[in-house]
Amino acid sequence: MRCRLPRRMLEYGLTVWVIVTLNFALPRLMPGDPFLYLSADQGDEVARFSQAQQDYYHSQYGLDRPLGIQYAAYLGALLKADLGYSIYYNQNVTVLLLRRLPWTLLLVSAAVVLSTLAGCLLGSLSAHQRGRWGDRWLYPLMIAVSEIPAFLLGLVLLFWLAAAWRLFPLSGAMTHFAMYNSSWEKLLDILRHAALPVLTLTLVRTGGMYLLARNSMAAVLTRDYMRTARAKGLHRLRILARHSLRNAMLPIVTRIFLSLGGLVGGAILVENVFAYPGLGRLMREAVLIHDYPMVQGIFLLVTLSVLSANYLADGIYARLDPRIQAGDAGAP
């Protein structure tokens, strides 16, 4: 394991460097100029900057320098944990990200927990009833739901549960100008606004978790120790929890971490559907107004989060399966 660790760190370091380089280049490849027009919140052009103003702002943000010098300055700022200053919002990018990040974390963490619980439960039941009526209707239903795009499912839920039935708020994360009598009342308001975005992400991700749990559980049920447990006359729930589910958890735990990247990507679309003030909506606004530092900061935060989740998945996978550690120790 010690021999393999430096190589893994080198691989992750190289990946981070490639991501940082692409993160620097992609915003500058976007058509347009952040100082050509003064843009409104929806990207509408409000007023045109004069040539003198454009030259001043380009010099102020260092965009008039050669790309090599800009790239070196960008790397130097990252080493100091400085993500830059937002062109449009006139605030530090780190401050804005920290302000929006908790809302996205609320959606993603809730969706991970709920989709994992629902997927594992339904997948286990389907595996135990494989070939019977329960599995025959649940399997195609989960596949159909998992294939629906997150933004389309969000629109359906928005029109159905919020607009038609008025069970949930239409948009936002909190009621505007609300006066709360207690923290509990404020928390309930936040949860009501987050219900539909979380439900959308949960439904989209439950199908994949269901298929993984079903296949993993079906493979475990054919093992010899499962036949031995049934022959001993153990209760079905004990067999399910202690023998089958425990041995089927390895790929499921790995999938939880690896699915974080997809959940963040789905959250970006869902947040724009429900006008939820997370990183997804902030990214859309930053792209529309060509706010280079903000786009770079959001992309970097998302990609590093995905890499961190993958690294944690590798570590947890090795701890759950000692054979991986033994293989690493014997590797050159």
The answer as to whether 12 is a domain residue is: no
- pLDDT tens, position by position, 281-323: 898 888 888 888 998 999 888 888 888 887 777 777 767 666 5
Write the burial class of residue 44 (CB in 10 Å: 0-12 exposed, 13-18 middle, 19+ buried).
exposed
φ, ψ of residue 175 to 5 degrees: the values are -75, 130
- What amino acid is encoded at 173 in this protein? A
Query: Poorest-confidence range of 29-33, 97-101, 169-173?
Result: 29-33
Tell me the CATH number at 266: 1.10.3720.10
The answer as to whether 131 is a domain residue is: yes
Q: Which long-range contacts (CB under 8 A, 24 or more apart) does 1-6 make?
A: 1/318, 1/325, 1/328, 1/329, 3/328, 3/331, 3/332, 4/328, 4/331
**Predicted confidence band of residue 1 (pLDDT cuts 50, 70, 90):** very low
The answer as to whether 227 is a domain residue is: yes
Task: Please give the model's pTM, rounded to 2 decimal places.
Answer: 0.84
For 106, the token pair is 């609320």
Sign of CA dihedral 85, 91, 95, 98: negative
Residues 37-50: what's their mean pLDDT?
A: 58
C-alpha–C-alpha distance, residues 278 and 155, integer Å: 18
Greater model confidence, 259 or 197: 197
The maximal CA–CA distance of the chain, rounded, in angstroms, is: 85
Q: Which of 169, 154, 166, 171 is nearest to 277 (CA)?
A: 171
- Residue 42 is predicted with a pLDDT of 53
**Predicted confidence band of residue 332 (pLDDT cuts 50, 70, 90):** very low
Greater model confidence, 322 or 107: 107
**Predicted confidence band of residue 48 (pLDDT cuts 50, 70, 90):** low
Residues 138-146: what's their mean pLDDT?
A: 89
C-alpha–C-alpha distance, residues 116 and 253, integer Å: 9
φ, ψ of residue 133 to 5 degrees: the values are -65, -40
C-alpha–C-alpha distance, residues 180 and 309, integer Å: 37
Query: Poorest-confidence range of 110-119, 132-141, 225-234, 294-303?
Result: 225-234
Residues 192-208: what's their mean pLDDT?
A: 94
Residues 163-171: what's their mean pLDDT?
A: 93
C-alpha–C-alpha distance, residues 53 and 190, integer Å: 42
State the chain's mean pLDDT as an integer. Answer: 83
CA-atom Rg of the chain in angstroms: 24
Q: Tokens 């499912």 identify what position?
A: 153
Indicate the number of domains in the chain: 1
The answer as to whether 189 is a domain residue is: yes
pLDDT more than 90, % of the chain:
37
C-alpha–C-alpha distance, residues 79 and 249, integer Å: 38
The answer as to whether 45 is a domain residue is: no
- Residue 198 is predicted with a pLDDT of 96
With 80 as the cut, is the pLDDT of residue 99 above it?
Answer: yes
C-alpha–C-alpha distance, residues 95 and 281, integer Å: 16
Greater model confidence, 165 or 256: 165
| Residues in Cβ contact with 228 at an 8 Å cutoff, skipping those fewer than 6 apart | none
C-alpha–C-alpha distance, residues 94 and 164, integer Å: 39
Residues 11-29: what's their mean pLDDT?
A: 88
The answer as to whether 64 is a domain residue is: no
Distances in Å between the Cα of 317 and the Cα atoms of 15, 103, 195, 220, 263 are 21, 29, 32, 18, 20
Greater model confidence, 21 or 51: 21
With 60 as the cut, is the pLDDT of residue 142 above it?
Answer: yes
- Residue 46 is predicted with a pLDDT of 53
C-alpha–C-alpha distance, residues 246 and 164, integer Å: 43
Distances in Å between the Cα of 306 and the Cα atoms of 15, 136, 155, 300, 313 are 12, 35, 27, 10, 10
3-state secondary structure of 46: strand
Greater model confidence, 93 or 303: 93
C-alpha–C-alpha distance, residues 2 and 293, integer Å: 38
With 90 as the cut, is the pLDDT of residue 11 above it?
Answer: no
What range does the domain containing 162 cover?
103-291
Query: Poorest-confidence range of 106-115, 189-198, 199-208, 238-247?
Result: 238-247
The answer as to whether 321 is a domain residue is: no
**Predicted confidence band of residue 273 (pLDDT cuts 50, 70, 90):** very high
Count of CB atoms situated within 10 Å of the CB of 101:
16
205: left (phi over 0), alpha (psi -120 to 50) or beta: alpha
Q: Which of 68, 64, 69 is nearest to 54 (CA)?
A: 64
The answer as to whether 167 is a domain residue is: yes
